[in-house]
Amino acid sequence: MTATHQVKLKPGDTIGILGGGQLGRMLAMAAARLGLRCRMFSPDPDSPAFDVVLNATCAEYADVEALELFAADVDVITYEFENVPAAAAMILAARRPVLPNRKILETTQDRLAEKDFVRQIDIGTADYADVCSAASLRAAIARIGLPAVLKTRRFGYDGKGQAIIQQGDDTDRIWEELETRSAILEAFVPFEREISVIAARSAEGQVECFDVTENEHRDHILKTSRVPADIPDALAAQACGIAEKIATALNYVGVLAVELFVVKGDGGPKVLVNEIAPRVHNSGHWTLDGATISQFEQHIRAIAGWPLGKPVRHGPVIMTNLIGEEINGYERWLTVPGAAVHIYNKGTPRPGRKMGHITQVLPQTQNHTTQGR
Ligand code: AMP
């Protein structure tokens, strides 16, 4: 089985998952519900995803022999993080279908390539400029203005590899502190709110979007997701249309997340794309308990060559991340009526580390600010 269009798994077949974090863990649990097995690949022996599968490969992504053996044992390969090394993806793709297509990684691993792609398909983003030196940063600021956000082109997440630049800041020092040679400067977006769309696309081109999620970050890390987002229906439809356009343009198979800013426009609020995540996403965790089909199941269905589901939401939903030491409060959450508790078993909590999450489906009459805490 090598070509994407030939993937058609049957119960008992095995999915290979690159990465062993909580996303891989929840993907493997969703696969198990559908009668599919998973084999994980991760260099970290303490990977939380190893807990829920029988077979795992603990090896570096540069270990060619381990990659070959892994590929031989699975029917299709997917990933739970976007920084899969290109060489590893190439070795695997020569042996088994890799879904989503590994070419998508080239676009989404690089903030500049990603923004160029989004603009090429006529979707709005913040103004941005390529930055490769202190001098080019000064030139970019002259064009884009301040405040602005300087981001490394690669390997940034949860606010890491980012700096906000304000009037009067020492830009040469900020450039040095970022310790990179390739960055992007983005205009600071004075957003009203942040939203995301979790979309699934099948190999046949069927696209299903979950209801638009409204996200709040604390210290650049997602803290809560609320569904539905408090935005007009037309704007929600527009956001879903953008996710569908992106998924279709990428010939995407699987689940992707599109993060957007809602900003004031002349004729009412409008959206700008911030980021694309070529994988299941934290802002879609609410779907595990808040909808009939989760983002994890949709992803498994898509890469298995199965029809996507039509998820039905159970009501207004709030998802709260348990970050760092907050996980130690899990016993209190266990007693909150209606709260679904998810613990990732990631060992000792570290500041900023996502350790678990809580989902609460609220009565239709209750709004998000009156959750049962
Ligand atoms: P990112 O890693 O690009 O998703 O950024 C993390 C968070 O930083 C976003 O969710 C926003 O809250 C904030 N942020 C990123 N880029 C911008 C921007 N251009 N303007 C304003 N806030 C931003």
User: Residue 188's pLDDT band (boundaries 50, 70, 90)?
Assistant: very high
274 C-alpha to ligand 1 centroid (Å): 7
Q: What is the mean pLDDT of residues 156-177?
A: 90
**Claim to verify: residue 104 and residue 69 sit in the same structural domain:** yes
Ligand 1 pocket check for 159: Cβ under 6 Å: yes
Distance between CA atoms of residues 310 and 314, nearest Å: 13
pLDDT(4) > 60: no
**Does residue 280 have its Cβ closer than 6 Å to ligand 1?**
no
Rounded percentage of the chain residues whose pLDDT exceeds 70: 96
Instruction: Pick the last residue of a domain from 187, 210, 228.
Output: 187
Last residue of one domain, picked from the residues 59, 77, 108: 108
Burial class from Cβ neighbours inside 10 Å (0-12, 13-18, 19+) for residue 58 reads middle
Looking up residue 146, the CATH number of its domain turns out to be 3.30.1490.20
Categorize the per-residue pLDDT at 373 as very low, low, confident or very high, splitting at 50, 70 and 90. Answer: very low
Question: Residue length, the chain?
Answer: 373
Across the range 9-24, mean pLDDT stands at: 98
Q: What confidence score (pLDDT) does residue 26 get? A: 98
Q: Please count the structural domains in the chain.
A: 3
**Residue 165, ligand 1, Cβ within 6 A:** no
Q: What is the pLDDT of residue 371?
A: 42
Q: Determine the structural domain holding residue 95 and report its residue range.
A: 14-108
Residue of minimum CA distance from atom 19 in ligand 1: 188
pLDDT over 50 at 133, yes or no: yes
What CATH number should be reported for the domain holding residue 65? 3.40.50.20
In ligand 1, which atom is closest to the CA atom of 259? Answer: 4
Distance of alpha carbon 63 from the chain centroid: 26
For ligand 1, whether the C-beta of 81 sits within 6 Å is no
Strand ranges (E), the chain: 14-18, 37-41, 55-57, 76-79, 128-131, 148-152, 162-165, 183-187, 193-201, 207-209, 213-218, 221-227, 254-263, 270-277, 317-323, 339-343, 354-361
Residue 65: partners with Cβ closer than 8 Å, 6 or more residues away: none
Q: What is the DSSP letter of 85?
A: -
Rounded to the nearest integer, the mean pLDDT of the chain is 95
Do 219 and 284 reside in the same domain of the chain? Answer: yes
On the question of pLDDT at 5 being above 60, the answer is no
User: Is 217 touching ligand 1 by the criterion CB < 6 Å?
Assistant: yes
Q: What pLDDT, in 10s, does the model give residues 32-73?
A: 999 999 999 999 999 999 999 999 999 999 999 999 999 999
Per-residue pLDDT reduced to its tens digit, 113-131:
999 999 999 999 999 999 9
Number of continuous H segments (helices) and E segments (strands) in the chain: 11, 17
User: Is residue 366, in this structure, part of any structural domain at all?
Assistant: yes
